[in-house]
Structure 1
Amino acid sequence: MTDLAVELDLPAAGPDEPNAIRIDSPLDGGLVGRVAKASRQDVAGAVATARGARALWAGAPAAERGAALRSAAAAIRDRAEDLARVNEAETGRPAADAKDGVLAGAGTLEQYAELGPVHRGRSLLGDPGATDLMVPEPRGVAAVLTPWNDPVAVACGLLGAALATGNTVVHKPSERCPHTGLLLGELITPYLPEGVLTCLAGDGEVGAWLAGSDGVDLIAHVGSTEAGRAIAGAAARTGAKVLLENGGNDPLLVDGDVDPAWAAEQAATGAFGNSGQICVAVERIYVHRALAGPFVEALTAEAERLGLLPLVDVPHREKVHGQVADAVAEGARLCAGGVVPEGPGARYPATVLADCAPGLAILREETFGPVAPVCVVDDFEAGLRAAGEDRYGLAATVLTRSMEHAQRAWRALPVGTVKVNAVFGGAPGGAAQPRGASGQGFGYGPELLDEMTTTKVVHVEPAP
């Protein structure tokens, strides 16, 4: 396979470069490309450059910042096919799905181009002879650390909000998709003043250097809980503001009054979409005993229809399969999938596990793969209790015909997002705060602009 770094004129690493990031195809195992890993000096230089550009960008009119984002969004739309192809080459995500993510990212930049200029403070009712204001100001330098599973859409959300509010940014995409992240940066930076956005390729070590820098004022991270907690620890030492969207272990609760075939379709969409590599994927299923038989049968048929699905790389497949094998060893019944295919690449079959006991690790930990573990519960109350007993708190889905059950569920479940009768979907502009091990702070929507800014109170009165 062609070396993408060379083809795209990105900072490629030579074959003997000791600190190169090498990407092998999750589809056929061939070389995708080698990217030079940023050094500690590169990180320090990028942060210093961003600090030097702060005053210029913060002082630019909000409408001017919005215009820059609209131009960047247009450039991304023009290169959507290229971004999708690179995304597929690095992570295995089918190009059509990857393009949807690219276009969603462009749309998000356009959204923040419009929202940025109307983000506002407040006037306060003090002494009539004085003026009192609450004014939002950019925080300064934002370190943005983004994941591989939807690299353009997620990055555009954080970059768009940070830039629209006048912050300068150092962006480190995941080391599993550095070509995608670097190409995205190449498309955005021409529309910004020098130093406003810098993109660095690197692994967790580079991310730690960036998060621990004294010159960073805000850290926005989407990724694993372990990395997020390390980032929070670093920020506690530097005083940086932290936004975290981290791991999830989202439950799906299937009530006893719904159509089991429809419920299985919903479960398959939630568990197998993007090969289960979605932050809000269905990770554990609690089904009413009255529906368990036909539900598992229908879900098994959905998994067998999908067959092999691409995972991001072989180490990730080993992690996913390890959780499946452990569950089977502890008594879960394998209904579909669960076998590592022969040959190169990192594909894994859509997998259904039935008869999962409540204490299984696969029900407690995020799998992030195409695995649907099913636990049978005696009634809705038991399912609701089990769904809520978890250290993660990202999202949850409830399938029920009972409005009473729906109302009780969304009030009781300790998560940032509750979806009733649809595993995905929702009105535009919503913004949720994850709970527990899933992170903290608004990560999208208009409220993200508040997170990206800090508020100054101003009191002005005439001199005597």
Structure 2
Amino acid sequence: MTAMHAIDVHSPLDDQLVGWLPAAREDDVTAALAAARAAWPDWAATPAAERGAAVKAAAAALRERASDLATVIETETGRPFASAREGVLAGAGTLEQYAELGPVHRGRSLLGSAVDFMVPEPRGVVVALTPWNDPIAVACGLLGAALVTGNVVVHKPSERCPHTGLLLATVLRPCFPAGVLQTLVGDGQVGSALVSSSEVDVVAHVGSTATGRAIAQASSAKLLLENGGNDPLLVDDDVDPVWAAAQAALGAFTNAGQLCTSVERIYLHKAIAKPFLEALCAQARSWNENPQPLVDIRHRSFVHSQVADAVGSGATALVGGSVPEGRGAYYPATVLANCSSAMRVMCEETFGPVAPVQLVSSFDEGLAEACSGEYGLAATVLTSSMEHAQRAWRSLPVGTVKVNAVFGGAPGGAAQPRGASGTGFGYGPELLDEMTTTKVVHLGLPNGLS
């Protein structure tokens, strides 16, 4: 790591300076990990019910400060206040779930001539690296599961929302003993110093594929990685095209397309192309009446480079597709027609409000296209055919397949990415398994007694 430097954050709403913060130095990283290691034995020995109570208290504290956090999120990332507050409350709900699930997390037993039982034990020091697009909800999933199972955590929020991360620490940290939950502000240098330390037992990261790959090379710890995605949407010819277009718009334009499971590429049966595209364009124009900025100008430039590449390669921008004038990092909801599989916008993660559409002649052709690529986060199929739905979820090489709804799912649902999208469970009761290691005890009787 180099000498201490400042992190400047400019609001994507109007380019104004939000503030600057000093990045953690190498000795800060060393001190935080040492404090975490020192705090771990007592926290691991704390009864599970008491750990659960602490996490539940953290959820209550988070609910009390939901509006304060939402204000900071909006200022730093551009996510509208109401949506940001929903994300904070979702994070509180996740903490509450883990507060209940943690104390009943259990192993298994086998009875033979002796008894074998398996005991879940905390792994130790967890480094959590969390993103800017849904900073509280994502962080609470990782922090809640780690803490309730007896691990200690050093959290580094994204450098794009460091004030949000520090405020979250201010809210949650008083609920836990000293050293159990710590937060360090910094960029990739700080993250690299954390993940490469031999003092770390688990690295849990949600973010880009490039960063995930770098972590995998640098760390010898247990890895939980939710990396990028290029989620397909497959639209069959037997669905209402207006309804399907509304689903596509919801998936592509929510949070300005900056969600891990945003719709990134659309394969549309040509039989319903005309009404679908007309409805999708109408949806895009409606979303553009109340635009949300991208997280910063740098990211906007990246998103526009993919759109420009597609247009230069033969795609047509039916709506949007140009950088607006004025302040802020705004980019319009964009509909691209005449796309092909070779275009960057169809084979790379865009992470912006772009709906690229490629026509297909059959469901089988669309399914084959949707199965292509290196990513394996999620996929959606819209169809009235049970047979097509069955073939889709069995064939798609992704962790989550959604049928007839781009978002949603059961409370406490899990996700397990594949391929370039990562490894390990994120969320759900299964995340408790990831945050623990299993000890097998073979319990026999002395002197051969039976």
TM-score, with structure 1 as normaliser: 0.94
- Deviation, 1:51, is 0.3
- Deviation, 1:390, is 1.1
Q: Does the 8 Å contact 2:80/2:292 carry over to 1? A: no
| Alignment counterpart, residue 259 of structure 2, candidates 273, 278, 291 | 278
Aligned residue number for residue 59 of structure 1 = 45
Q: Distance in 2 between matches of 1:22 and 1:35?
A: 7
CA distances 1:176-235 after superposition (whole Å, capped 9, x unpaired): 001111111111110101000110001111111100010000000000000001111112
| Alignment counterpart, residue 278 of structure 2, candidates 277, 293, 297 | 297
What is the correspondence of 1:120-159 to structure 2 with a 5 Å cutoff? 120-127=106-113, 130-159=114-143
**2:229 is the counterpart of 1:248:** yes
- Deviation, 1:305, is 1.3
Q: Does the 8 Å contact 2:224/2:425 carry over to 1? A: yes
Q: Distance in 2 between matches of 1:201 and 1:455?
A: 33
**2:178 is the counterpart of 1:215:** no
| Alignment counterpart, residue 310 of structure 2, candidates 327, 341, 360 | 327
Instruction: Tell me the matched-pair count.
Output: 443
Q: Distance in 2 between matches of 1:311 and 1:402?
A: 37
CA distances 1:58-95 after superposition (whole Å, capped 9, x unpaired): 00000000000111111100000000000000000000
SS in 2 for 1:23: strand
CA distances 1:368-388 after superposition (whole Å, capped 9, x unpaired): 000000000001000000000
- Deviation, 1:240, is 0.8
What is the correspondence of 1:15-414 to structure 2 with a 5 Å cutoff? 19-127=5-113, 130-235=114-219, 239-307=220-288, 308-414=291-397
Q: Does the 8 Å contact 2:4/2:24 carry over to 1? A: no
Between 1:137-146 and 1:299-308, the stretch displaced more is 299-308
**Residue identity matched to 2:437:** T
SS in 1 for 2:88: helix
SS in 2 for 1:71: helix
CA distances 1:345-375 after superposition (whole Å, capped 9, x unpaired): 1011000000002211110000000000000
SS in 1 for 2:98: helix
Q: Distance in 2 between matches of 1:376 and 1:76?
A: 46
- Deviation, 1:133, is 1.5
- Deviation, 1:174, is 0.3
Aligned residue number for residue 446 of structure 1 = 429
SS in 1 for 2:264: strand
Q: Distance in 2 between matches of 1:352 and 1:132?
A: 59
Change (3 A) 1:443 1:326: same
Q: Does the 8 Å contact 1:265/1:299 carry over to 2? A: yes
CA RMSD of aligned residues (A): 1.0
CA distances 1:18-57 after superposition (whole Å, capped 9, x unpaired): 6111110100111111111001111111111100001000
SS in 2 for 1:397: strand
**Residue identity matched to 2:124:** G
SS in 2 for 1:41: helix
Q: Distance in 1 between matches of 2:354 and 2:36?
A: 42
SS in 1 for 2:20: strand
CA distances 1:237-259 after superposition (whole Å, capped 9, x unpaired): xx310000000000000000111
**Residue identity matched to 1:443:** G
Q: Does the 8 Å contact 1:309/1:350 carry over to 2? A: no
Q: Does the 8 Å contact 2:424/2:434 carry over to 1? A: yes
Q: Distance in 2 between matches of 1:401 and 1:157?
A: 34
Q: Distance in 1 between matches of 2:269 and 2:115?
A: 61
Q: Distance in 2 between matches of 1:381 and 1:132?
A: 49
Q: Does the 8 Å contact 2:4/2:22 carry over to 1? A: no
Q: Distance in 1 between matches of 2:374 and 2:116?
A: 43
- Deviation, 1:411, is 0.5
- Deviation, 1:433, is 1.1
SS in 2 for 1:369: coil
CA distances 1:275-309 after superposition (whole Å, capped 9, x unpaired): 00000000000000101111111111111111133
Aligned residue number for residue 6 of structure 1 = none
**Residue identity matched to 2:214:** A
- Deviation, 1:461, is 2.9
Question: Structure 2: which 5+ runs fail to align?
Answer: none
Q: Distance in 1 between matches of 2:417 and 2:180?
A: 29
Q: Does the 8 Å contact 2:4/2:25 carry over to 1? A: no
Q: Distance in 2 between matches of 1:299 and 1:310?
A: 20
SS in 1 for 2:154: strand
Q: Distance in 1 between matches of 2:307 and 2:120?
A: 48
Identical residues among aligned pairs (%): 69
Q: Distance in 2 between matches of 1:229 and 1:206?
A: 16
